[in-house]
Amino acid sequence: MRVYVSELKNFVGQEVELKGWVYNSRSSGKIKFLLLRDGTGLCQCVFFKGECDPEAFEVFGQVSQECSVRIKGVVREEPRSPGGVELGAQSLEILAPSVDYPIGPKEHGVDFLMNHRHLWLRSKRQHAVMRIRAELVSAIRDFFDGRGFTLTDAPIFTPSACEGTSTLFETTYFDEKAYLSQSGQLYMEATAAALGKVYCFGPTFRAEKSKTRRHLIEFWMVEPEVAFADLYDNMELAEQFVEYIVQRTLKNRPEELAALERNTEALEKVKAPFPRLHYKEATDIILKENPEFVVGGDFGGTDETIISSKFDRPVFVHHFPSAIKAFYMKEDPQESGSSMSCDLLATEGYGEIIGGGQREESLEVLVRKIREHNLRIEDFEWYLDLRRYGSFPHSGFGLGLERTVAWVCGLSHVRETIPFPRLYGRNYP
């Protein structure tokens, strides 16, 4: 019977067939070991001279790293093996060869690994990262689906900018100009008026001409939007959401976190409520350690780290100056010049994972803001309709999936958090 490595513990004493790739192999006289990888796990297959087919011993001489194989044998308990079982192998067949597999046990440079990303994904650390990413995606969907949100995905081709024109990817849409979406938010504002609580979850694009640890050109963002919610409701939703996805990953992916040697102490403390700092309080903290910081400006990576080092959970910063935020942010009527925005900074210096806030609901103010940002009013007529026909207070946020994966996995760079990263200067493989 053909089974997967992850199921082997249910087949102790039985004969099974495994298919997969050779992770590594070694021989010592009458005994040969082959570590088989089938995508669900690793299994040690042991070939004993005299016990296995005589041909199997010969074929073993031709196996090489990553060649694909079929192995038959009997499952037996072996406490020292991964999963507590191993295979007493009987037969071995090479299905396809693998000559000079480029990635070996030795250290490789980042550039080399990135050029071989399609193969690099076959290694243990990458399996752990991909499984944690998949767990987070599934937790994200379950959180919103379980709370009455409707998934209303946004288009990728768009006629206008959402997050400023400096990072827009321009393309053509037949005879017209078009842009790749930087955020689905504006469309979620429309679907929130239709369905109340909505979210979108998909790829977004930013032409960031800089190489940093936190920026991808193509990244996935989940963006909930809630009708009749204010800034404070929004932060409450965000903290419950982040607690849920982190705690669920800790519960369901302990092996992967251990494979990455992630110290999970900080993650265990990710429980709502999270501390909330007004922009002014945040800048007071920053100035003590970075006197060069200019009040009124946005935070750099170091500034975010200064703030997060003062807390043992993720921390919100709200009320950023309107001048450094997008056109759609509502200005606080109690506090001129300050926006009803909120960012969430992850623990341990992993930086901003969420950006969001309350949206401007006044038609007149929005028209003025669009003009002040030098955006074309014609492109936003549909968006302005949302204020013409039953305007409503509403709020939402966007969580960057890859930055969240980097944080949960404890990775210093976002390049390993997505199967095929798009970075400034890299569109291969």
The residue ranges that bind ligand 4AD (CB under 6 A) are: 162-163, 183, 185, 206, 208, 215-216, 219, 221, 223, 352-356, 396-398, 400, 402-403, 414
Q: Which is nearer to Mg ion, 69 or 345 (CB)?
A: 345
The Cα–Cα gap between 309 and 243 comes to: 19
Q: Least CB distance from residue 317 to Mg ion, whole Å?
A: 10
Minimum CB distance to Mg ion, residue 355 (Å): 3
Beta carbon nearer to Mg ion, 92 or 200: 200
> If binding means CB under 5 A, how many residues of this protein chain bind Mg ion?
1
The pair of three-digit structure tokens given for residue 21, joined into one six-digit string: 């790739």
Tell me which of Mg ion, ligand 4AD, none is bound by residue 85, counting a contact when its beta carbon lies within the kind-specific cut-off of 5 to 8 angstroms: none
| Nearest-approach distance from CB 352 to ligand 4AD, in angstroms | 4
Return the C-alpha torsion angle 342, 347, 349, 351, nearest 10.
-30
Secondary structure element (H or E) that encloses residue 383, with its range? helix 381-388
Partnered with residue 242 across adjacent β-strands are: none
The entry of ligand 4AD, Mg ion, none near residue 353 (CB within 5 to 8 angstroms by kind) is ligand 4AD
Look at residue 398 and give the partner it binds from Mg ion, ligand 4AD, none, a contact being a CB closer than 5 to 8 Å depending on partner kind: ligand 4AD
By a kind-dependent CB cut-off of 5 to 8 A, residue 227 interacts, out of Mg ion, ligand 4AD, none, with: none
How many whole angstroms separate alpha carbon 322 and alpha carbon 331?
Answer: 7
* Residue 354 binding partner per list ligand 4AD, Mg ion, none, with a CB distance cut-off of 5 to 8 Å that depends on partner kind: ligand 4AD
Nearer to ligand 4AD, 206 or 318 (CB): 206
Nearest residue (CB) to ligand 4AD, 369 versus 403: 403
CB 40 to ligand 4AD: min, Å: 30
Shortest CB 391 distance to ligand 4AD, Å: 18
Nearer to Mg ion, 11 or 424 (CB): 424
Q: Find the shortest distance in angstroms from Cβ 16 to ligand 4AD.
A: 43
Upstream peptide bond of 273 is cis (omega within 30 degrees of 0) = yes
355 in contact with Mg ion (CB under 5 A): yes
Instruction: Please report whether residue 398 would count as binding Mg ion according to CB under 5 A.
Output: no
Asked whether position 73 contacts Mg ion by CB under 5 A, the answer is no
Instruction: Between 73 and 421, name the residue whose CB sits nearer to ligand 4AD.
Output: 421
Phi-psi bin for 138: left (phi > 0), alpha (psi -120 to 50), beta? alpha
- Cα four-point dihedral sign 247, 253, 255, 259: negative
- The rounded distance, in Å, linking the Cα atoms of 40 and 156 is 33
Rg (CA), the chain: 26
Find out whether 84 and 78 touch, Cβ atoms under 8 Å. yes
CB-nearest residue to Mg ion: 355
253 binds, among Mg ion, ligand 4AD, none (CB under 5 to 8 A by kind): none
Distance CA(183)–CA(170), nearest Å, equals: 15
Judged by CB, which is closer to ligand 4AD: 387, or 415?
415
Do 45 and 25 touch, CB atoms closer than 8 A? no
Q: How far is CA 383 from the centre of its chain?
A: 29
Residue 350: CB minimum distance to ligand 4AD, A: 10
Instruction: Name the residue among 407, 332, 359, 324 with its Cα closest to residue 234.
Output: 359
Q: What are phi and psi of 355, to 5 degrees?
A: -135, 135
Distance CA 279, CA 208 (A): 25
Nearer to ligand 4AD, 216 or 237 (CB): 216
The least CB distance from residue 293 to ligand 4AD, in Å, is 19
| Cβ-based nearer residue to Mg ion, 178 or 324 | 324
Token duo for residue 69: 């194989």
The number of residues making up the chain comes to: 429
Residue range at the interface with Mg ion (CB under 5 A); choices 88-96, 112-120, 133-141, 349-357:
349-357
| Contact of 402 with 392, CB cutoff 8 Å | no
Query: Rule CB under 5 A: which residues touch Mg ion?
Result: 355
